[in-house]
Chain A
Amino acid sequence: MLRKLIRHEFRATARLMPLLCLIVIALGVLAHFVLKLLDLSNLPFVVRLFLGSVIPLFVAALVAVYVVAVVVMVARFKRNVLGDEGYLTMTLPVSVHSIIWSKIIVSAVWFIAAALADAIAVWLAFFMNESVFEIIRDIWNGLMFFTGNNAWLIIEALLWLFATCFAGIVTSCLNFYAALSIGHGFSRGKMGFSVLFYFLLNSAASVLMTVVILVLSQSVLKVGVPSFGTSFAVSAMAEWRLLMGTVLGVYLVNSGIFYLLTCINLKKRLNLE
Chain B
Amino acid sequence: MATLECIGLTKRYGSVEALDSIDLKVEPGRITGLLGPNGSGKTTLIKLANGLLTPTSGKILIGGMEPGVETKKIVSYLPERLDIPTWMNVTQLLGFFRDFYADFDLDRARDMLAKLSIDESMKIKAMSKGTREKVQLITVMSRRAKLYLLDEPIGGVDPATRDYILATIIGNYDPEASVVISTHLIQDVENVLDDVVFIDRGRIVLRSTVDDIREKEGKSVDALFREVFRC
Of the candidate stretches B45-53, B112-120, B185-193, B207-215, the one touching chain A is: B45-53
Most buried by B among A1, A7, A268, A272: A272
Most buried by B among A4, A87, A94, A187: A87
> Closest CB-CB distance, A215 to chain B, in whole Å?
41
Q: Is the CB of B52 within 8 A of A87?
A: yes
**Beta-carbon nearest neighbor of A86 in chain B:** B83
Of the candidate stretches A8-16, A29-37, A46-54, A240-248, the one touching chain B is: A8-16
Q: Count B-side interface residues using an 8 Å CB cutoff.
A: 25
1/0 per residue, CB under 8 A from A, across B51-87: the answer is 1111000000000000001101101010101111101
**Complex Cα spacing A234 to B51, Å:** 55
Q: Is the CB of B72 within 8 A of A84?
A: no
**Complex Cα spacing A15 to B123, Å:** 14
Q: Is the CB of A84 within 8 A of B83?
A: yes
Q: Is the CB of B81 within 8 A of A87?
A: yes
**Beta-carbon nearest neighbor of B16 in chain A:** A187
User: Chain A residues near B229 (CB, 8 Å)?
Assistant: none
Q: Count A-side interface residues using an 8 Å CB cutoff.
A: 25
> Closest CB-CB distance, B200 to chain A, in whole Å?
22
Q: Given A4-B99, A11-B92, do A93 and B87 touch, yes or no (CB 8 Å)?
A: no
**Beta-carbon nearest neighbor of B136 in chain A:** A88
Q: Given A4-B99, A4-B100, do A91 and B82 touch, yes or no (CB 8 Å)?
A: no
**Complex Cα spacing A85 to B70, Å:** 21
Q: How would you classify the secondary structure of chain B's contact residues: helix, strand, loop or mixed?
A: loop
A90 an interface residue at 8 Å Cβ cutoff?
Answer: yes
Q: How would you classify the secondary structure of chain A's contact residues: helix, strand, loop or mixed?
A: loop
Q: Is the CB of B54 within 8 A of A267?
A: yes
Q: Given A187-B13, A270-B52, do A93 and B79 touch, yes or no (CB 8 Å)?
A: no
**Complex Cα spacing A87 to B81, Å:** 8
**Complex Cα spacing A77 to B63, Å:** 31
> Closest CB-CB distance, B110 to chain A, in whole Å?
20
Q: Is the CB of A90 within 8 A of B100?
A: no
B164 an interface residue at 8 Å Cβ cutoff?
Answer: no
A216 an interface residue at 8 Å Cβ cutoff?
Answer: no
User: Chain A residues near B81 (CB, 8 Å)?
Assistant: 84, 87, 273
**Complex Cα spacing A88 to B86, Å:** 12
B residues near A (Cβ < 8 Å) are 13, 47, 50-54, 69-70, 72-73, 75, 77, 79, 81-85, 87, 92, 96, 99-101
With A12-B85, A91-B75, A272-B52 given, can you name 11 additional A-B contacts, CB distance below 8 Å?
A: A8-B96, A11-B92, A12-B87, A80-B85, A84-B83, A85-B84, A85-B85, A90-B50, A93-B69, A94-B69, A273-B81
Q: List 7 A-B contacts (CB under 8 A).
A: A1-B100, A84-B81, A85-B83, A85-B84, A85-B85, A93-B69, A93-B100
Complex A-B, nearest 7 residue pairs according to Cβ-Cβ distance, in ascending order? A87-B83, A87-B79, A93-B72, A88-B83, A93-B73, A4-B99, A84-B81
A residues near B (Cβ < 8 Å) are 1, 4, 7-8, 11-12, 15, 80, 84-88, 90-95, 187, 267-268, 270, 272-273
